[in-house]
Structure 1
């Protein structure tokens, strides 16, 4: 992680190996720009990036004065500087126009701090040659605070808290990234469970790992069926953060398919690539509960990780099988590649037994969600419009993209089965993200219908190219949005 250091010195006077200047909305007359003619000579008009090697300045265009674009620009700046031989960089103060006015400066700087830290991320665990960087710290000039009607000393206290929050967010997004990126020959269910136990011990949380015998005892037949062809045992991991004065009890449920070949309804090899990312939901909720513990939030938070592996063997579960879930509902299996919802159904039953105020599940559940919303946007589903709106607002505030998807009774009928209470998939191609959500809804008890949200993170959880603050691979989808959602829920209570 980068060291971010606040200095009560003006930007121009602050000494560092290289300066980072954001060119906002092509404004080359900004007070941070001291060599406008040089930029004109090189035909730089404020778009993209320009590195002035002579004056040791990295200019990064910010197309719109928006908090999230500052985050991305800061990330790009660090990625560029990492390739150079600079040990330190400096940055000034910025306040986005398109934000809540009284928080513009602090929220923009939080975005910049997170962007700077995200710029350092590389997943190179299995590479012989690692990326080398000399960059160790970024100095933040507070001496110009009066331009924002702030006193440097007062602002320093505010921004120290933002640096702390940025560090926690980035550390835990990166935790989720690392786990999702870890290949399936390493990251089995027991491996992820051990990571959860180690983190819990380190951070003072409770952690319980339940194996196959427990799942049988609790009659979690849907969950067990998915894993029965795997050489690795299933692991239901339950992590608990319980502060003394909790205002809410929130349960986060994560789909944790450490690998999904599709089972007997086998995927083509093209679609098996990246299936290590099918544990993205579980990795996200594990990261979130630890992040919230570090932030010291006044909520009792439970993370439930449904870890399993969908493989092929002589004892694979089959299309035509009828499974009995923990809720007692029978499920006709029409496709073994619709397995995540089976694991989640039993995990959601487990979650409801905890009698929470809110339940939110995160899952790389459907390709249909990616088809509908694209690779960068998660889908929000549930029965409570107000709760969906609140989650959407929190997610967008965090910098993660989401869209609400509406349930309807006509799609629900497509899950009807002549052989069981419900089918695990519909006979048609259309509306797959919604029918998966509607399937889960069948396992939500009446008392929790308005307290539950389902977040399909199939698109952004793993993308094989650079985008926003993400390198190719896992993005840690769900972590920032969920942390922000919990903070916002507590702020309202």
Structure 2
């Protein structure tokens, strides 16, 4: 897909198809009004009507808000795939409103995404030309070109993240994740360090090490660093990169393992953010820490009842080996705080609990932490980026559920009430007191991977949190 800007008059330019977003019917020719009324075109958003005579694809959008508009463009590009057409034109003015380039591009690029790597037919994507006509825009072409460039960088990084999550566990394991990280580090301003299991043992990172001990694939601690000149803030992103999760000895039941390639979603999103930063040139220093492991079963697997000593010397009674993500993050969070000094923010991202889905449904990231001010910043970034977040509160009563009679604490409570919160409270024990107000936990279990087409997201991985965190950074400038 090749998206360009065109300053010509749209009616004077030949193109195979024009996408027209319709919000109201009153400005339309009488014949078209009657036709659209007869097919209940405006009964709901995202209905389509193809006028083959005039080469126009009409898409209904009852609310001209960014998220609805993105879905409208996604609907159009999906319809377009079924046509023998090579080029599209779009007026930046739709329903008498100037649309943002970011909105148009995200709708088109994210809506166009398909993961076809394992399809025998593996359809070749149309090398289509999409022209956005900007003749009547209030912005200069230079400004719009800058917006187009940024929108493409972010959207392509979201799709990059999707590819990682969608990849089969058979051929995407910790070593491959590390190799992808090294590939990202070939870009300017980015470096990468990879540590194996010898390092984990040397640094007493026994929580993370134990999770991957039964896998034939060596666990990898990945440390990506993006550093701009004269950074205005230092940010740490820590991601759970469980490339496959059987549940360990606390084996998942039935079809519970089928989509567990998605358990690397947090680590993939961290890599997606760094991937975008390599081209965005934002004025920050950003560290991406990914704990890449595979949670398997075998004679040497860690077991319920084991007592693990984490790298901060806290002891953990393992009550459920399927609560492995928090063990990986525990050591990664401690590693980050020991090796990165004077940072401003530390966020962790993980497909951590099904309870977060129960709390908010499958489309919202559950966010927890101690700083209300920081939560407000994330809420603001959520509204601007379109990525949904919700906040869950801490309390002392739930923290008591993590108490152990034989260790400092258990990794999961037998009481499943508030499980998303207790998981976050467990992680908080690996955040130093001086850093509590700098930390937020993002449970992306719901929106990271959906077995459905959702708005402008395709089936499978969504690349969640990449746009959210980029917008958070942009707001800091």
Shared fold by TM > 0.5?
yes
Alignment of 1:19 with 2:18, yes or no, is: yes
CA contact (8 A) 1:340 1:365 kept: yes
Alignment of 1:29 with 2:21, yes or no, is: no
Does the residue aligned with 1:488 lie in a helix, a strand or coil? helix
Q: 1:340 to 1:349 in 2, by over 3 A?
A: same
CA contact (8 A) 1:14 1:141 kept: no
Aligned counterpart, 1:418: 405
CA contact (8 A) 2:236 2:289 kept: yes
Aligned counterpart, 2:92: 93
Q: State the alpha-carbon separation in 1 of the partners of residues 27 and 321 from structure 2.
A: 58
Q: State the alpha-carbon separation in 2 of the partners of residues 188 and 161 from structure 1.
A: 37
Alignment of 1:144 with 2:136, yes or no, is: yes
Alignment of 1:210-359 (within 5 A): 210-353=195-338, 354-355=340-341, 356-359=343-346
Aligned counterpart, 2:140: 155
Aligned counterpart, 1:62: 61
Q: State the alpha-carbon separation in 2 of the partners of residues 242 and 10 from structure 1.
A: 43
CA contact (8 A) 1:380 1:392 kept: no
- How many aligned positions are there? 473
Q: 1:34 to 1:193 in 2, by over 3 A?
A: farther
Aligned counterpart, 1:454: 441
- Cα displacement string for residues 382-426 of structure 1 (whole angstroms, at most 9, x for unaligned residues): 000110111122023111111011111110011011111111001
Alignment of 1:399 with 2:382, yes or no, is: no
Aligned counterpart, 2:42: 45
How far is 1:206 from its partner? 0.5
CA contact (8 A) 1:86 1:135 kept: no
Alignment of 1:126 with 2:118, yes or no, is: yes
CA contact (8 A) 1:11 1:144 kept: no
Alignment of 1:199-214 (within 5 A): 199-214=184-199
Aligned counterpart, 1:189: 174
CA contact (8 A) 1:381 1:407 kept: yes
Q: State the alpha-carbon separation in 2 of the partners of residues 96 and 290 from structure 1.
A: 35
| Of 295-304 and 10-19, the range deviating more from structure 2 | 10-19
CA contact (8 A) 2:101 2:151 kept: no
Q: State the alpha-carbon separation in 2 of the partners of residues 176 and 32 from structure 1.
A: 44
Does the residue aligned with 2:367 lie in a helix, a strand or coil? strand
Q: 2:377 aligns with which of 385, 390, 395?
A: 390
- Cα displacement string for residues 247-305 of structure 1 (whole angstroms, at most 9, x for unaligned residues): 11111000000000000100013110110000000000011012122100100011001
Aligned counterpart, 2:365: 378
How far is 1:143 from its partner? 2.1
Aligned counterpart, 1:100: none
**Aligned-residue CA RMSD in angstroms?**
1.9
Q: 1:428 aligns with which of 415, 437, 441?
A: 415
- Cα displacement string for residues 309-368 of structure 1 (whole angstroms, at most 9, x for unaligned residues): 111111111111110111111001000000000000000001112122110111000011
How far is 1:381 from its partner? 0.6
* Unmatched tracts of structure 2, length 5 or more: none
Q: 1:283 to 1:203 in 2, by over 3 A?
A: farther
How far is 1:56 from its partner? 1.4
Q: State the alpha-carbon separation in 2 of the partners of residues 268 and 96 from structure 1.
A: 51
CA contact (8 A) 2:206 2:308 kept: yes
* Unmatched tracts of structure 1, length 5 or more: 98-103
Does the residue aligned with 2:186 lie in a helix, a strand or coil? helix
Q: State the alpha-carbon separation in 1 of the partners of residues 467 and 77 from structure 2.
A: 20
How far is 1:144 from its partner? 2.7
| Of 134-143 and 468-477, the range deviating more from structure 2 | 134-143
Q: State the alpha-carbon separation in 1 of the partners of residues 195 and 234 from structure 2.
A: 21
Q: 1:251 to 1:201 in 2, by over 3 A?
A: same
